[in-house]
């Protein structure tokens, strides 16, 4: 079963410095049918104006993944971590027992980023910070695993694996093996098991044995591979 969600169906926050599309209930936006998808709690697609951002604010017991798709993000937290995250880089923060952090556009150009929150499998862990750069060549016409609890890459405190891909000329496949997935088209246009998805569309995939992703145009995608049942801290 594949449920396609066009971007126009997502919640929208728009201010003089921020445009944010929320795939799930977030802040003042609430819909009891759109709270989470398995352990996936937040998927925000943000555009932040130069010099603007989010001042110090708290998080706890959440795995927070930030992927910069354009521009430069500056991160600071109360544990002394200071990160400059550029296009093609991914940041992972385990809020655990509690962390305060800030996020700002570190340039004079527009900043575009994806921020995803995953509910962890245990409470109260010591906060962690990690960031890594992944080249376009590493993900060219293939799914590159960038975060996982099981594979040798950036770590996550939940049984969720993040993949990114730049699709140009080849069909790629991914076996779900009794799991479910969330797919986001960052840019471009693809076919997912024969169904067309445009840039900024997302899809919830359940009860499918295999995913086939074929580029119609040059495309960038992110895929989250998740268990159908999971251990939650709630």
Tens of pLDDT, residue by residue, the chain (234 residues): 999 999 999 999 999 999 999 999 998 999 999 999 999 999 999 999 999 988 888 889 999 999 999 999 998 888 888 889 999 899 999 998 998 989 999 899 999 999 999 999 999 999 999 999 998 889 999 999 999 988 879 999 999 999 999 999 899 999 998 899 999 999 999 999 999 999 999 999 999 999 999 999 999 999 999 998 765 555
Q: Which CATH number among 3.40.50.150, 2.40.128.640, 3.40.190.10, 2.60.120.10 corresponds to the domain 10-133?
A: 2.60.120.10
Collect all residues with Cβ–Cβ distance below 8 Å to 54 and sequence separation of at least 6.
102, 103, 104
Paired residues of 224 in beta bridges:
162, 182
Contact 160, 40 (CB under 8 A): yes
Which superfamily is assigned to 137-226 in CATH? Jelly Rolls (2.60.120.10)
Tokens of 99: 């962390």
């Amino acid at each position: 079963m594949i449920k396609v969600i066009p971007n126009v169906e997502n919640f929208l926050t728009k201010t003089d410095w921020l445009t944010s599309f929320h795939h799930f209930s977030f802040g003042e936006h609430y819909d009891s049918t759109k709270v989470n998808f398995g352990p996936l709690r937040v998927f925000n697609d943000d555009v932040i104006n130069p010099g603007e951002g989010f001042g110090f604010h708290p998080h706890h017991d959440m795995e927070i993944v930030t992927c910069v798709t354009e521009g430069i993000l500056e991160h600071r937290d109360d544990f002394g971590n200071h990160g400059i995250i550029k296009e093609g880089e991914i940041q992972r923060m385990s809020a655990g027992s509690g962390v305060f952090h800030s996020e700002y556009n570190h340039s004079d150009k527009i900043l575009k980023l994806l921020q995803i929150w995953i509910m962890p499998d245990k409470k109260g862990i010591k906060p962690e910070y990690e960031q890594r750069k992944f080249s376009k060549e590493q993900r060219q016409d293939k799914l590159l695993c960038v975060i996982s609890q099981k594979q040798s890459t950036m770590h996550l405190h939940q049984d969720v694996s993040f993949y990114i891909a730049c699709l140009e000329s080849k069909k790629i496949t991914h076996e779900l093996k009794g799991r479910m997935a969330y797919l986001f088209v960052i840019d471009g246009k693809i076919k997912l098991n024969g169904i067309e998805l445009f840039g900024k569309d997302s899809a919830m995939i359940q009860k499918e044995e295999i995913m086939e992703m074929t580029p119609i145009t040059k495309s960038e995608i992110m895929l989250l591979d998740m268990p159908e049942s999971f251990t939650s801290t709630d």
